[in-house]
Amino acid sequence: MSTIKNLPNWHTVNIQPHYTGKLKKLEELSRNIWWSWNNEATELFKYINNKNSISNCIDPNSMLKSISQERFEELQKDSQFLKKFEKVFGDFETYINTPYDKNLPSIAYFSMEYGMTNILKIYSGGLGVLAGDYLKQASDSGYDMTAIGLFYRQGYFKQIISQSGNQDEVYESQRFMDSPAELLKDKNGDAVTVSVEMEGRKVYAQIWELKVGRIKLFLLDTDRNDNSDEDKVITYRLYGGDNENRLRQEMILGIGGVKTLNLLGIQKDIYHLNEGHAAFTVFERLKCLMKSQKLSFNEALEVVRASNLFTTHTPVPAGHDAFPESLMMQYMGDYPNKLGVSWKKFINLGKENHENEDEKFSMSVLAANTSQEINSVSKLHGEVSRKVIFNNMWPGYFPEELHIGYVTNGVHYSTWTSKHWQEILKNDKGEIDFTKIYQISTEEIWDIRKKQKTQLYNYINNIIDSVRVSRNENPKDVIKIKNTFSKNALTIGFARRFATYKRGNLLFTDLDRLNKIVNNPDFPVQFIFAGKAHPKDGGGKGIIKQIVEISKRPEFIGKILFLEDYNMSLAKELVKGVDVWLNTPTRPLEASGTSGMKAVMNGVLNFSVLDGWWVEGYKEKGGWALSQQNTYKNKELQNEYDAEQIYRKLETEIIPLYYNRDRDGIPDDWILYIKKCISEIAPEFTSERMINDYRDRYYLKLKTRYLKIADNDFEKAKEIAAWKENIESEWKKIKTEEFDVSAITNVSLIPGQTYKGGIKLNINGLNSEDVAAEMVISESTASGELTITDIINLEKETVEGSSVYYLFYFTPSKPGSINYAFRIYPKHSMLAHRQDCAVVRWL
Say which range, 294-303, 545-554, 575-584, 626-635, has the weakest mean pLDDT.
Answer: 626-635
Selection from 126, 238, 117 nearest residue 181 by Cα? 117
Selection from 267, 189, 272, 173 nearest residue 221 by Cα? 173
**pLDDT-based confidence at residue 7 (cuts at 50, 70, 90):** confident
Selection from 705, 808, 824 nearest residue 770 by Cα? 824
Cα–Cα distance between 510 and 507 in angstroms, integer? 8
**pLDDT-based confidence at residue 467 (cuts at 50, 70, 90):** confident
Q: Are 581 and 599 in contact (CB under 8 A)?
A: yes
Q: Are 787 and 779 in contact (CB under 8 A)?
A: yes
CB atoms within 10 A of CB 322: 18
Selection from 732, 755, 735, 759 nearest residue 745 by Cα? 755
Q: Are 557 and 477 in contact (CB under 8 A)?
A: yes
Q: Each residue of 144-201: pLDDT tens digit?
A: 999 999 999 999 999 999 989 999 999 999 999 889 999 999 999 999 999 999 999 9
Would you state the pLDDT for residue 152?
Answer: 97
Selection from 718, 741, 709 nearest residue 808 by Cα? 741
Considering the domain delimited by 413-685, tell me its CATH architecture: 3-Layer(aba) Sandwich (3.40)
CA angle 101, 107, 111 (to 5 degrees): 135
Q: Are 177 and 208 in contact (CB under 8 A)?
A: no
**pLDDT-based confidence at residue 51 (cuts at 50, 70, 90):** low
Say which range, 63-72, 164-173, 257-266, has the weakest mean pLDDT.
Answer: 63-72
Give the right CATH number for 269-412+687-730 from 1.20.1560.10, 3.30.70.20, 3.40.50.720, 3.40.50.2000. 3.40.50.2000
Would you state the pLDDT for residue 52?
Answer: 54
Strand ranges for 564-662 from DSSP E: 580-583, 605-609, 624-626
Q: Are 340 and 297 in contact (CB under 8 A)?
A: yes
The residues with which 159 forms a beta bridge, in sequence order, are: 169
Q: What is the dihedral of CA 279, 284, 285, 288, to 10 degrees?
A: 170
Would you state the pLDDT for residue 241?
Answer: 87
Span 274-297, mean pLDDT? 98
DSSP 426: B
Q: Classify 456 in phi/psi space as left (phi over 0), alpha (psi -120 to 50) or beta.
A: alpha
Top-confidence residue, 780 or 252: 252
Q: Each residue of 203-253: pLDDT tens digit?
A: 999 999 999 999 999 999 999 999 999 999 999 999 988 999 999 999 999
Span 538-553, mean pLDDT? 96
Would you state the pLDDT for residue 14?
Answer: 72
Say yes or no to pLDDT of 519 above 80. Answer: yes
Q: Each residue of 632-685: pLDDT tens digit?
A: 888 899 999 999 999 999 999 999 999 999 999 999 999 999 999 999 999 999
Would you state the pLDDT for residue 13?
Answer: 78
Q: What is the dihedral of CA 651, 657, 662, 664, to 10 degrees?
A: -90
Say yes or no to pLDDT of 625 above 70. Answer: yes
Would you state the pLDDT for residue 58?
Answer: 81
Three-state secondary-structure class, residue 147: strand
**Which amino acid, 20?**
T
Span 775-792, mean pLDDT? 88
Top-confidence residue, 838 or 598: 598
SS3 for 513-569, per residue? HHHHHHCCCCCCEEEEEECCCCCCCHHHHHHHHHHHHHHCCCCCCCCEEEECCCCHH
Report the share of the chain in percent with pLDDT over 90: 83
DSSP 252: I
Top-confidence residue, 477 or 686: 686
Selection from 579, 576, 596 nearest residue 667 by Cα? 579
DSSP string, 713-730: HHHHHHHHHHHHHHHHHH
**Which amino acid, 202?**
K
Q: Classify 21 in phi/psi space as left (phi over 0), alpha (psi -120 to 50) or beta.
A: left
Sequence-distant contacts of 338-345: CB under 8 A, at least 24 apart? 338/287, 339/283, 339/286, 339/287, 339/290, 339/297, 340/290, 340/296, 340/297, 341/297
Burial 658-679 (b: 16+ CB within 10 A, else e): bbeeeeeebbeebbebbbbbbb
Report the share of the chain in percent with pLDDT over 70: 98
CA angle 609, 425, 449 (to 5 degrees): 55
Q: Each residue of 106-142: pLDDT tens digit?
A: 999 999 999 999 999 999 989 999 999 999 999 999 9
Cα–Cα distance between 213 and 209 in angstroms, integer? 12
Q: Are 109 and 146 in contact (CB under 8 A)?
A: yes
Q: How far is CA 3 from CA 8, 34, 246, in A?
A: 16, 59, 53
DSSP string, 24-75: GHHHHHHTBGGGGG-HHHHHHHHHHHT---SSS---HHHHHHHS-HHHHHHH
Cα–Cα distance between 332 and 251 in angstroms, integer? 9
Strands ordered across the beta sheet of 560-563: 560-563, 525-530, 490-495, 580-583, 605-609, 624-626
Domains 269-412+687-730 and 734-842 share a fold: no
Say yes or no to pLDDT of 71 above 80. Answer: yes
Burial of 628 (0-12, 13-18, 19+ CB in 10 A): middle
pTM: 0.95
Cα–Cα distance between 238 and 156 in angstroms, integer? 5
Burial of 680 (0-12, 13-18, 19+ CB in 10 A): middle
Span 456-476, mean pLDDT? 81
For residue 292, how many C-alpha atoms fall within 13 Å in the half-sphere facing its CB?
10
In the predicted model, what is the mean pLDDT of the chain? 93
Would you state the pLDDT for residue 643?
Answer: 95
Helix (H) / strand (E) element for 271: namely strand 270-274
**pLDDT-based confidence at residue 73 (cuts at 50, 70, 90):** confident
Would you state the pLDDT for residue 784?
Answer: 78
Three-state secondary-structure class, residue 210: strand
Say yes or no to pLDDT of 50 above 80. Answer: no
Cα–Cα distance between 61 and 81 in angstroms, integer? 18
Cα–Cα distance between 172 and 170 in angstroms, integer? 6
Q: Are 709 and 716 in contact (CB under 8 A)?
A: yes
Cα–Cα distance between 304 and 87 in angstroms, integer? 45
CB atoms within 10 A of CB 241: 14
Q: How far is CA 622 from CA 36, 417, 526, 614, 670, in A?
A: 30, 18, 21, 11, 9
Q: Phi/psi of residue 824, each to 5°? A: -115, 150
Say yes or no to pLDDT of 54 above 60. Answer: no
DSSP string, 625-647: EE-SS-S-SSHHHHHHHHHHHHH
**pLDDT-based confidence at residue 99 (cuts at 50, 70, 90):** very high
Would you state the pLDDT for residue 3?
Answer: 61
Would you state the pLDDT for residue 389?
Answer: 92
Sequence-distant contacts of 381-386: CB under 8 A, at least 24 apart? 381/315, 381/406, 381/588, 381/591, 381/592, 381/612, 382/406, 383/588, 384/315, 384/588, 384/591, 385/312, 385/315
Span 51-55, mean pLDDT? 56
Could you tell me the residue ranges of all domains in the chain? Answer: 23-97, 269-412+687-730, 413-685, 734-842
Three-state secondary-structure class, residue 470: helix
Span 607-622, mean pLDDT? 96
Say yes or no to pLDDT of 279 above 80. Answer: yes
**pLDDT-based confidence at residue 24 (cuts at 50, 70, 90):** confident
Give the right CATH number for 734-842 from 3.40.1130, 1.20.1650, 2.60.40, 3.30.2010. 2.60.40
Say yes or no to pLDDT of 56 above 80. Answer: no
Say yes or no to pLDDT of 714 above 80. Answer: yes
